[in-house]
Structure 1
Amino acid sequence: MMTDTFPAAGFGSIHFGNVDLGDARVNRRLATLADLLVASGAESLPDKFADPADYRAFNRLVGRPEATHEAVTAPHRAHTRNRMRAHTGAVLVLHDTTELDYSGRALPRMGPIGNGHGTGWECHNSLAVDAGSGAVLGLAAQILHRRPPTRSNRGETKAQRRQRQDRESRLWVTGLEAVGPAPDGRHWVHVSDRGSDTFEYLSALVTGGHRFVVRSRHDRVRSDEATLHAHLRALSAVSAWSGEVRCGPHGGSTRTADLSAAGVRVELPDPSGSAPALGVWALRVWEPNPPDGVDPVEWFLLTDRALDTAAGLREVAGWYCQRPIIEEYHKALKSGCGVEELGHRTPETYLFSAPVVAQGEVGAGCRTIATFG
């Protein structure tokens, strides 16, 4: 287990010292309040402030029109990207979305979640970690997405849905754009699970020159009419090793597995037929002889990394094995920080405290597990 820890004292100035809320005194107050929030283990927001004057100051601050989610998170995101630029090894940018559930509070400016009967935000996070150690560098991007009411999308054609900029599938592209390109000489690898397997996102990765590992969800028909997954299953193993893997819902449990891998260069056609095919590398990682009573490992991964060597196959598999770190972050955000249970009364308070607590959990060292041996 790897943790990246910071002392609670000084956290506010490190992660919010450059905030711009229109008043220097308010800026300094935010840093002080962030220190208090991080240091307290209380769940109720008033209980996080021992001095009632601090709680009143907090309420005044969140009532300011300048205290938006974008403004409050900007200093931490800039701090994270500075750490990424300074890092000489590979940095993994782990992308994933989690629901923030504020059902029953009757608050405006939120949208439906779950089956449509709950209320809250889709919170899309891009978490930067050291590829070698699994240590968390910080949040490179955080997007609070409001789903439109289901009834507003009725009657749309497939083409109309594709053109709508507020559709949830665009969060992957928006998160990628928010992180931005890696500087020359730096290696940032964008890692995501099956939900990100859209041609739109893959096209953004390829055309933008990004490094990436995306788990394949769709068994695409290739230009030779063979399906992608069937083609990969027909390949003989090129590399074999033992490593720690995590399987099951929400990261599941960790166990040692004997793994095999094989990869090949493929062309992925645009399903709409309106864009050129994408050239990527595809690999299959599987467990030839799983223990009794467990589901065998089988991952289909898409990447820009050349897979013509055993070392390349293992490196890409290792990058993907780090992906559960962001699930640990989401669990820490909800269970450890109680970001859904802070007892707020206004959406502005959520907009303010969600990023403060989120960055607090990163800075204090969210539980991270390097899952590749």
Structure 2
Amino acid sequence: MVTRASSCLRRAAEGGRAKIVRYGRFLANENVTLEALLAGWGEQTAVAAAGRHVLAIQDTSEINFRTKPERRRGLGEIGKGTGHGLLLHAMAAVDAESDACLGLVAGKIWTRQGRVTVPHDKRPLEQKESERWISTAYRAKQVLSAAAMVTVIDDREGDIFAKWASVSAANFHLLTRSMHDRVLADGASMYATAAGWPIVDAATIDVVARADRPARRAKLVLRLGRVTLKRPQNASADLPRTVELALIEVAEVDAPAGVEPLQWYLLTTHEVSDVASAWRIVNWYKRRWIIEQLFRLIKTQGLQLEDSRIETADRLLKLTAITAKAAVMILQLVQARDGRSAEPASNAFNEAQIKLLAALATKYEGRTKLQSNPHRPQSMAWASWIIARLGGWDGYPRTKPGPITMRHGLQYFLGVASAWETLKDVRIN
């Protein structure tokens, strides 16, 4: 997939129809299960995470396969029922100090089978789609068991009382943006309680432009304190009546007219005792954008998963699991391009590929210091520099190679690596 820059079988297959058929049979094989593919996500990540503080960032993305009523392929509704496809829930491991993506941890991929008629609050947790936020966090405990500390980070959908009450443990923390105003143990409103706390600090940040808002400078104020959540009425009686957490409010003041001000209520099991620790928590939460970047690489900016024409939903589920793993490779190289990452190249390449990278590097080293690879040999940054050169980057530090350049470089490099392996087989035979 990475070599051909696509998850579409007709584009990715190298060798004609025979290879397409073989890969199709692989996806159709009953012994190739979605569960096994998902379990494989965390194998390399578990090794890379050892001894680190890992931010385990999870989120869900809709994969929209454009299809007609007569050719649904077994795909269920997504969004508000206007499209058909599947849902990808993934957790990525990120080093808390360097922001380096260490790989995928765990997740879930599914397609909906019709509409559920039982109201959401009448169903047990195990019958709700929101269960994925809890089960994926539990899986992270196993995969990241060698980490020094883990902080699971969710957006608002992960704000579930059962998760707060059951998942956290020593050195295994939770950090989530609040979805709604909660009732506290004393009957008070959580948001109103936070509003009564004093402002303890302020900061000014640059807000990037989006389709629905222009770029601007935003002044933020910070409040922090402890809250005790009351168990909701529809929660299981087996859960504790209350859960105590730290709450951090980050709110924009003096926002421009017509612009919705920024406001985050962040709940966490971490101890937040002062301003410095509060801003540290805020900065960890901001790392959520990394998994959004991964989803873009899976879809529009990378492997174009939504263009796949595979004919059945069960095969599309497996293809999605494979595509997510491939997209991580591109993300790791993009992150390493500036040299700040100390990750080894072995996080993405095998031993033979690293040797080939070293051989190719001599061809692309320039005559001047500016066009020489400045990074430690066999590091991810070193590999990223070589791949970017293969993708068309001129090597001068005034510009930085982006995802498309990295994709092109990988396409070229892995094509060369594949040809080299083929030639070795020919010589041996």
- The partner residue of 1:360 within 317, 320, 326 is 326
What TM-score do you get using the length of structure 2 for normalisation? Answer: 0.69
Equivalent pairs, count: 325
Residue identity in the other structure for 1:113 = I
SS in 2 for 1:189: strand
Quick check: 1:223 aligned with 2:188?
A: no
1:176 alignment partner in structure 2 = 137
Deviation at 1:79, TM superposition (A): 1.0
SS in 2 for 1:73: helix
What TM-score do you get using the length of structure 1 for normalisation? Answer: 0.78
- Give the distance between the partners of 1:193 and 1:355, measured in 2 at CA: 22
- The partner residue of 2:117 within 123, 135, 154 is 154
User: Relative to structure 2, which stretch is displaced further, 319-328 or 111-120?
Assistant: 111-120
Tell me if the contact between 2:229 and 2:242 (Cα under 8 Å) persists in the aligned partners. yes
Residue identity in the other structure for 2:5 = G
1:54 alignment partner in structure 2 = 19
Structure 2 CA distance for partners of 1:129 and 1:351, relative to 1, 3 Å? same
Structure 2 CA distance for partners of 1:154 and 1:246, relative to 1, 3 Å? same
1:14 alignment partner in structure 2 = none
SS in 2 for 1:314: helix
Note the alpha carbon deviations across 1:56-105, whole angstroms, 9 max, x for none: 3212222211112222233332111221224x3x2211111111223434
Quick check: 1:347 aligned with 2:313?
A: yes
- Give the distance between the partners of 2:147 and 2:131, measured in 1 at CA: 28
- Give the distance between the partners of 1:231 and 1:146, measured in 2 at CA: 40
Structure 2 CA distance for partners of 1:186 and 1:245, relative to 1, 3 Å? farther
- Give the distance between the partners of 2:284 and 2:180, measured in 1 at CA: 21
User: Relative to structure 2, which stretch is displaced further, 195-204 or 276-285?
Assistant: 195-204
SS in 1 for 2:307: coil
How does 1:65-84 map onto structure 2 within 5 Å? 65-84=30-49
Tell me if the contact between 1:96 and 1:326 (Cα under 8 Å) persists in the aligned partners. yes
Tell me if the contact between 2:48 and 2:102 (Cα under 8 Å) persists in the aligned partners. yes
Quick check: 1:266 aligned with 2:227?
A: yes
- Give the distance between the partners of 2:278 and 2:91, measured in 1 at CA: 24
- Give the distance between the partners of 1:337 and 1:344, measured in 2 at CA: 15
Structure 2 CA distance for partners of 1:368 and 1:229, relative to 1, 3 Å? farther
Tell me if the contact between 1:95 and 1:326 (Cα under 8 Å) persists in the aligned partners. yes
- The partner residue of 1:95 within 33, 58, 72 is 58
SS in 2 for 1:287: strand
- Give the distance between the partners of 1:248 and 1:224, measured in 2 at CA: 40
- The partner residue of 1:139 within 104, 112, 129 is 104
Tell me if the contact between 1:68 and 1:351 (Cα under 8 Å) persists in the aligned partners. no
1:326 alignment partner in structure 2 = 291
Deviation at 1:333, TM superposition (A): 1.1
Tell me if the contact between 2:50 and 2:146 (Cα under 8 Å) persists in the aligned partners. no
Note the alpha carbon deviations across 1:272-320, whole angstroms, 9 max, x for none: 2733200111110122343555432211010112222111111111111
Quick check: 1:317 aligned with 2:279?
A: no
SS in 2 for 1:320: helix
2:153 alignment partner in structure 1 = 191
SS in 2 for 1:219: coil
Structure 2 CA distance for partners of 1:305 and 1:253, relative to 1, 3 Å? farther
- Give the distance between the partners of 2:135 and 2:124, measured in 1 at CA: 15
Tell me if the contact between 1:328 and 1:368 (Cα under 8 Å) persists in the aligned partners. no
Structure 2 CA distance for partners of 1:246 and 1:91, relative to 1, 3 Å? farther
2:92 alignment partner in structure 1 = 127
Tell me if the contact between 1:239 and 1:313 (Cα under 8 Å) persists in the aligned partners. no
Residue identity in the other structure for 2:117 = R
- Give the distance between the partners of 1:113 and 1:249, measured in 2 at CA: 22
- Give the distance between the partners of 2:186 and 2:292, measured in 1 at CA: 37
User: Relative to structure 2, which stretch is displaced further, 282-291 or 170-179?
Assistant: 282-291
1:278 alignment partner in structure 2 = 243
- Give the distance between the partners of 1:232 and 1:281, measured in 2 at CA: 11
Deviation at 1:44, TM superposition (A): 3.6
Tell me if the contact between 2:226 and 2:245 (Cα under 8 Å) persists in the aligned partners. yes
Identity %: 26
- The Cα RMSD (Å) is 2.8
Note the alpha carbon deviations across 1:122-158, whole angstroms, 9 max, x for none: 21111111223322111111211333421xx325583
- Give the distance between the partners of 2:193 and 2:46, measured in 1 at CA: 39
Tell me if the contact between 1:95 and 1:126 (Cα under 8 Å) persists in the aligned partners. yes
Q: Which runs of 5+ in 1 are unaligned?
A: 1-36
Tell me if the contact between 1:305 and 1:312 (Cα under 8 Å) persists in the aligned partners. no
2:200 alignment partner in structure 1 = 238
Tell me if the contact between 1:147 and 1:168 (Cα under 8 Å) persists in the aligned partners. no
2:252 alignment partner in structure 1 = 287
Deviation at 1:184, TM superposition (A): 6.6
- The partner residue of 2:4 within 33, 37, 40 is 40
Residue identity in the other structure for 1:310 = V
Residue identity in the other structure for 1:280 = L
- Give the distance between the partners of 1:80 and 1:253, measured in 2 at CA: 38
SS in 1 for 2:14: coil
Structure 2 CA distance for partners of 1:313 and 1:157, relative to 1, 3 Å? closer
Greater RCO structure (CA 8 Å; 6+ sep)? 1
- Give the distance between the partners of 1:352 and 1:345, measured in 2 at CA: 12
